[in-house]
Structure 1
Amino acid sequence: MTLTVNGEAVDLTPPVTVAALVASRTDQRRIAVARNGEVVPRSQWVTTALAEGDEVEILAAVAGG
């Protein structure tokens, strides 16, 4: 299946959850994820399956000012 992750087309073998995708792309703890424009609460990452054509944004919190 093909997803868009942070603006880049990515081919993955289903099934893939938000948790698995995040683990494969980053080891950072301060991460937020949006799927198709909706924030996915961290408590739902393990149970949220991704589907063909989903658009996912993985965002890292950064300190600064």
Structure 2
Amino acid sequence: MSPADSIDGPAVTVNVNGETQLLGAETCLAELLRRLGHEPESVAVAVNGDFVPRASRCSRILRHGDQVACFKPIVGG
């Protein structure tokens, strides 16, 4: 089943790393990452160019047209 198959009610379209995703209207960033199969510790995320800390992902509701970038965090220094 695709994520679109489980949407009841209004939907929004977001772009994730160049791919369009159809989500329920109140989907948070943490839920999107879970649906995409990302472990929270394994990916850094920006929405519309702004970094979103792990602690804020559950409260960051995605809106129509949001641009989401997922990438491996860079460690070291």
TM exceeds 0.5?
yes
What TM-score do the two structures reach when normalised by structure 2? 0.73
Higher CA-based Rg: 2
The structure where helix makes up a greater share of residues is 2
Considering only aligned residues, what root-mean-square deviation do their CA atoms show, in Å?
A: 1.7
Which 5+ residue runs of structure 2 have no aligned equivalent? 1-11
Residues 1-55 of structure 1, C-alpha deviations (whole Å, 9 max, x = no match): 1100111111111111010001110243311010000100111001111100000
Which 5+ residue runs of structure 1 have no aligned equivalent? none
Aligned amino acid, residue 17 of structure 2: N
Separation in 1, partners of 2:67, 2:38 = 20
2:68 to 49, 56, 61: 56
Separation in 2, partners of 1:27, 1:56 = 13
What TM-score do the two structures reach when normalised by structure 1? 0.84
Equivalenced residues, count: 63
**For residue 6 of structure 1, what is the aligned residue in structure 2?**
17
1:40 to 52, 64, 70: 52
Provide the identity percentage. Answer: 32
Which one has more relative contact order, counting CA pairs under 8 Å at least 6 apart? 1
Runs of 4+ aligned structure 1 residues displaced above 2 Å come to: none
